[in-house]
Structure 1
Amino acid sequence: MEHTEAKQAMKELTMALLYLSRFCEREKFAEAEHFYAWKGYDFDVLNELDDEDLIRQGSHRSKSVYLTEAGKEYARSLFEKYGIDDWKGTTA
């Protein structure tokens, strides 16, 4: 297994944890599901993920972040990299 620098690992593992701890909100009149996660992580890392359009923080007073499609894809690729299984019975 290749080594990952600590800063990169923190970013990757934060994204993976955001995805694992996600919750879903469905639009009233649409089939779209939107995934959110609570903001309990290092703010510098969250800002970096936001800058890369992997998440959207919205108002900085918000306690949750929105997981973008790119963020969901990135998180799933990290699951493969680290050998993590997603929750059974979830849609993404």
Structure 2
Amino acid sequence: MPYDTDKVDNAVLALLTLTTHQEDEFGARIWKGHDWDALNRLHEKGLLGDPVSKAKSVVMTPEGLARGRELFEELFARND
């Protein structure tokens, strides 16, 4: 089934904000337990550091963190 990789990347980026830690002015570290192709595309878009390493986490850039938070609210916020 064909699918929109940009929509997948947006959902992954939004979900990655759930695992942020060690946040500072350079971004935040996140656990990289998502699809490798999506992580690589997000890296190519400048939203993540290079996910290819032995580390279990990767740096989310400040731009990636801000965009991920926007997407999380857009995709998952409840309007109670």
TM range (shorter): 0.7 to 0.9
Unaligned 5+ segments in structure 2 are none
Give me the whole-angstrom Cα distance separating, in 1, the residues matched to 2:62 and 2:51: 16
Structure with the larger RCO, 1 or 2 (CA within 8 Å, 6+ apart)? 2
Distance in 1 (CA, whole Å) between partners of 2:7 and 2:74 is 11
Task: Answer whether contact 1:11 1:45 (CA < 8 A) is retained.
Answer: yes
Give the secondary-structure state (helix, strand or coil) at the position aligned to 1:72. Answer: helix
3-state SS in 1 of match to 2:58: strand
Q: State the shift of 1:33 in Å.
A: 7.2
Q: Is residue 2:67 matched to residue 1:74?
A: yes
Please show how residues 1-92 of structure 1 align to structure 2 within 5 Å. Answer: 6-24=4-22, 32=25, 34-57=27-50, 60-84=53-77
Contact 1:36–1:65 (Cα < 8 Å) also in 2:
yes
Unaligned 5+ runs, structure 1 = 27-31, 86-92
* Equivalent position SS for 2:53: coil
Query: What is the aligned-residue identity percentage?
Result: 30
Kept in 1, the 8 Å contact 2:42–2:48? The answer is yes
Per the normalisation by structure 1, the TM-score is 0.66
The alignment's C-alpha RMSD in Å is 2.4
Distance 1:33 1:63 in 2: 18
